[in-house]
Amino acid sequence: MPQAIAENTLFQGLPAILLRAPDGAEATVLLHGAHLVSWKPAGDRERLYLSDKAVFEDGKPVRGGVPICFPQFGKNGPLPQHGFVRDRSWEIVTARAGDDFAMAMLRFTDSAETRAMWPHAFTAEFSVSITGARLDMELEVTNTGDAPLGFTAALHTYMAVDEVEEAQLEGLRGQTYRDLLDGGTEHVESGTFVAIERETTRLYLETANPLLLREARKSLGINAENMPDTVVWNPWEVTCATIGDLPANGFRRFLCVEAGAISQPVELAADETWWGRQSLIAM
């Protein structure tokens, strides 16, 4: 029986938390960005993609795993792309292993530096829980100021695949999506599954159904709560070559399926709290 662990460690030279459930499931979370960089279900292999060329430095985002996009998704606003919490240090709230799980919670609190970019008081907490074949991730945001605030957010999850051209993402048939490579033109998904055959950046709206990322030898169940939008992203060959922290063939090894609150910003009154969750089940 594997030993249950929730302990401080280093990952690529950065402080991190290593989690191991009694059944052998493992995960590693950096304090840098509260970035989940590894998840291995019990008896299984790595299910998150992490670039061989990822940069592990203060002030820079890590390519792969699960970056946290907050308080802005993408470039849709005045802030740096995907906001500012993914490349700054978070603090540990708790890390523990129980009889059948291991979990960690990290917290980020506003500062003079963040208020210079985004003039709001807030706390953000990110929790990771693993057991068996299941991973649960939850982002919680509280408005600690005395004025309303609005934000967009996402869990930018890089799903590891053997070959992206052979992967099929099921559960989006009939859903409206915006093609973000075509100015946000809206379409309705007509296929029984989404296949990646070219550069793809789609924002699916109000995706209430569970999703299934199916491959020849493995599958991954994907479910979101209180994060109504789903981004499906793969840069394909040409754009991949322009991304310095991705190897030339890196696009073949992942598909981003991102749970988010993007199309309609979340509005929080003073003292209110919002949460959103993404759960993955390895099959």
pLDDT tens, 245-280?
A: 999 999 999 999 999 999 999 999 999 999 999 999
Spatial separation of the C-alpha atoms in residues 97 and 3, rounded to whole Å: 10
Structural domain that includes position 193: 5-282
pLDDT at 76: 86
Q: How far is CA 97 from CA 13, 24, 76, 88, 101, in A?
A: 24, 11, 39, 26, 6
Contact residues for 25 (Cβ-Cβ < 8 A; gap 6+)? 40, 41, 42, 102, 130, 131, 132, 133
User: How many helices and strands, by DSSP H and E, does the chain display?
Assistant: 2, 21
Spatial separation of the C-alpha atoms in residues 211 and 190, rounded to whole Å: 15
* Average pLDDT, integer, range 152-178: 98
% residues pLDDT > 70 (the chain): 99
Q: Residue with structure tokens 């070559």? A: 241
> Amino acid identity, residue 11?
F
3-state SS, residue 258: strand
Beta strands in 168-218 (DSSP E): 168-170, 176-179, 185-188, 193-195, 200-204, 211-214
pLDDT tens, 227-245?
A: 999 999 999 999 999 999 9
* Average pLDDT, integer, range 84-94: 97
Spatial separation of the C-alpha atoms in residues 47 and 52, rounded to whole Å: 15
Tokens of 115: 């208020």
Q: What is the mean pLDDT of the chain?
A: 97
Structural domain tally of the chain?
1
pLDDT tens, 202-230?
A: 999 999 889 999 999 999 999 999 999 99
Query: Is the entire prediction scored with pTM above 0.75?
Result: yes
CB 198 within 8 A of CB 165: no
CA–CA–CA angle 44, 49, 50 (5° rounding): 120
Band of pLDDT at residue 161, cut at 50, 70 and 90? very high
pLDDT tens, 97-118?
A: 999 999 999 999 999 999 999 9
Bridge-based pairing state of the strands 68-69 and 91-97: unpaired
pLDDT tens, 9-39?
A: 999 999 999 999 999 999 999 999 999 999 9
CB 32 within 8 A of CB 15: yes
Residue 1 pLDDT > 80, yes or no? no
% residues pLDDT > 90 (the chain): 96
* Average pLDDT, integer, range 167-194: 96
3-state SS, residue 251: helix
Task: List phi, psi (to 5°) of 272.
Answer: -85, 155
Preceding omega of 210 cis (within 30 degrees of 0)? no
- The CATH number linked to 62 is 2.70.98.10
pLDDT at 236: 98
Spatial separation of the C-alpha atoms in residues 23 and 71, rounded to whole Å: 36
Candidates 25, 56, 48, 76; CA nearest to 156 is: 48
pLDDT at 201: 98
